[in-house]
C-alpha cells in the first residue's frame, strides 16, 4: 500500500493520478474539511475515464498533528509520499504553518518509523535551498544561512528537512525533493496555480526578478522514479529552466491574448503596494494580494541547477517551461468554459 499526504494539492493530485494509472494500491490522507472534487478534476485532464481511476483511491481522514491517527493510516503501508504542507506569506499564519510543516512532518516520520515503512519521499521546496552569491547557480550543496530575507515558509521547509535528516540518521530510508516554482492546473486559487488566475486578467506591472520553474507532471514523474530507485539519504533540486518573472507572465499573457506587462515596478513601488495591501487586510480582513515577503521575492534573481537529478536519471527530459505554460493555460480556459 502506498500513502500520499496532501492528496488534494497540486503535487498530490498529480501523484495520485500517476499512481492510480499504474494500478498500484493507493491510500490518501485528507482533512475533514478538504474537498476531493479538485482531485477528480485533475484526473479528468488526463483520462477519458477519470471516475474509474479515482475509485482506486482509499481516502482516510487524519491530522498531521495527531501522530496516533497517522499511525493508524500507515497500517500496511510500504511507501510514503509526504506532499502535505501549508504555504502562506501572511505573518499571522506563521505559527500554524510552523506546526503543520515542521511538527506535522516530524509526526509523519515518527509514524513511518514505527510502522517500518520501506521508503519515505519528502516534498520540500527550493525555498529550503541556501542562497548563492553573485547570481551563481544554487545547488544541493548550498549552505543554509539565517537571514531576515528568509520567508517564514522557507524557514518552515528548512526545519522540516532537518526532521527528515534526523529520521535518516535513525535508520529511515528517505529521499527529499526540492521542486522550483511548479506549473500546473487544478485549484486555480491555490499555491502557484493562482499565477494563472492573475495572469488571465492581465498584469500591467513587472519586476526584474527571476526563478526556476518546473511542470508538476515532471515533479510527479521524478518522485515515482526516486521512490522505485535504490537512492536513499539524498536531496534533489527539481528544476526545468530558470526564467525571469516578466517572461513567465508574458508567456501567460500571450496564451490568454492579453497585453504584455509594460510598467516596471521597482522596489519603492512594490513597497507601497504591500503596505497598501496590509492596510486593506486590516480594514476588511481580506487576504492580501501581495505581502512584504512576496514583494521581496519578486525582485530576487535566483537560479537553480539540475545537474544532480540529471545525473541520477540521464534519460529524463524536462517539459520546456513555455510548453508547460501554454498547456496549463489551456486547462485554465477549459475549466472557465465549464463554469459557463
- Tens-digit pLDDT profile for residues 214-251: 999 999 999 999 999 999 999 999 999 999 989 999 99
The DSSP bridge partners found for residue 57 are 26
Contacts of 18 (CB under 8 A, 6+ apart): 220, 221, 224
pLDDT at 272: 45
Q: How far apart are CA 128 and CA 124, in angstroms?
A: 7
Q: Is 153 helix (H, G, I), strand (E, B) or coil?
A: helix
Contact assessment for residue 84 and residue 138, using Cβ atoms and an 8 Å cutoff: no
pLDDT in tens, 73-131: 999 999 999 999 988 777 778 889 899 999 999 999 999 999 999 999 999 999 899 77
Q: Which residue has the cell 490522507?
A: 29
- 130 vs 127, 237, 304, CA distance in Å? 8, 12, 11
All structural domains of the chain = 2-185+212-240+303-319 (3.40.50.720)
Order across the sheet with 210-215: list the strands.
181-183, 210-215, 241-244
Q: How far apart are CA 87 and CA 72, in angstroms?
A: 26
Choose among 316, 292, 307, 126: nearest CA to 218.
316
pLDDT in tens, 279-336: 554 555 555 555 555 656 666 778 999 999 999 999 999 999 999 999 999 998 888 8
pLDDT in tens, 177-209: 999 999 998 888 887 888 888 888 888 877 788
Choose among 217, 105, 84: nearest CA to 159.
105
What pTM was estimated for this model as a whole?
0.92
Strand 205-206 and strand 79-82: the pairing is: unpaired
Amino acid at each position: 500500500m502506498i500513502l500520499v499526504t496532501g492528496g488534494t494539492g497540486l503535487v498530490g493530485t498529480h501523484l495520485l493520478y500517476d499512481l492510480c494509472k499504474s494500478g498500484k494500491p493507493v491510500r490518501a490522507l485528507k482533512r475533514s474539511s478538504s474537498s476531493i472534487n479538485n482531485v477528480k478534476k485533475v484526473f479528468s485532464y488526463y483520462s477519458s475515464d477519470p471516475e474509474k481511476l479515482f475509485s482506486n483511491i482509499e481516502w482516510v481522514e487524519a491530522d498531521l498533528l495527531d501522530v496516533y491517527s497517522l499511525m493508524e493510516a500507515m497500517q500496511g503501508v510500504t511507501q510514503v509520499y509526504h506532499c502535505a504542507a501549508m504555504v502562506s506569506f501572511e505573518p499571522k499564519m506563521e505559527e500554524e504553518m510552523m506546526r503543520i510543516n515542521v511538527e506535522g512532518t516530524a509526526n509523519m516520520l515518527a509514524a513511518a518509523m514505527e510502522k517500518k515503512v520501506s521508503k519515505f519521499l519528502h516534498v520540500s521546496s527550493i525555498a529550503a535551498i541556501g542562497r548563492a552569491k553573485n547570481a551563481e547557480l544554487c545547488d544541493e550543496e548550498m549552505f543554509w544561512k539565517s537571514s531576515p530575507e528568509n520567508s517564514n515558509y522557507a524557514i518552515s521547509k528548512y526545519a522540516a528537512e532537518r526532521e527528515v535528516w534526523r529520521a535518516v540518521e535513525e535508520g529511515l530510508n528517505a529521499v527529499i525533493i526540492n521542486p522550483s516554482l511548479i506549473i500546473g492546473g487544478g485549484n486555480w486559487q491555490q499555491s502557484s496555480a493562482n499565477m494563472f488566475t492573475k495572469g488571465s486578467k492581465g498584469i500591467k506591472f513587472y519586476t526584474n526578478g527571476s526563478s526556476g520553474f518546473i511542470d508538476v507532471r515532471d515533479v510527479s514523474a521524478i518522485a515515482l522514479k526516486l521512490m522505485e530507485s535504490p537512492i536513499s539519504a539524498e536531496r534533489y533540486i527539481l528544476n526545468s529552466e530558470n526564467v525571469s518573472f516578466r517572461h513567465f507572465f508574458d508567456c501567460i499573457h500571450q496564451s490568454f491574448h492579453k497585453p504584455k506587462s509594460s510598467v516596471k515596478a521597482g522596489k519603492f513601488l512594490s513597497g507601497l503596494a504591500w503596505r497598501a495591501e496590509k492596510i486593506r487586510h486590516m480594514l476588511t480582513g481580506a487576504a492580501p494580494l501581495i505581502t512584504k515577503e512576496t514583494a521581496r521575492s519578486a525582485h530576487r534573481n535566483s537560479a537553480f541547477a539540475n545537474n544532480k537529478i540529471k545525473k541520477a536519471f540521464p534519460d529524463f527530459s524536462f517539459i520546456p517551461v513555455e510548453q508547460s505554460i501554454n498547456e496549463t493555460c489551456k486547462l485554465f480556459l477549459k475549466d472557465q468554459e465549464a463554469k459557463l
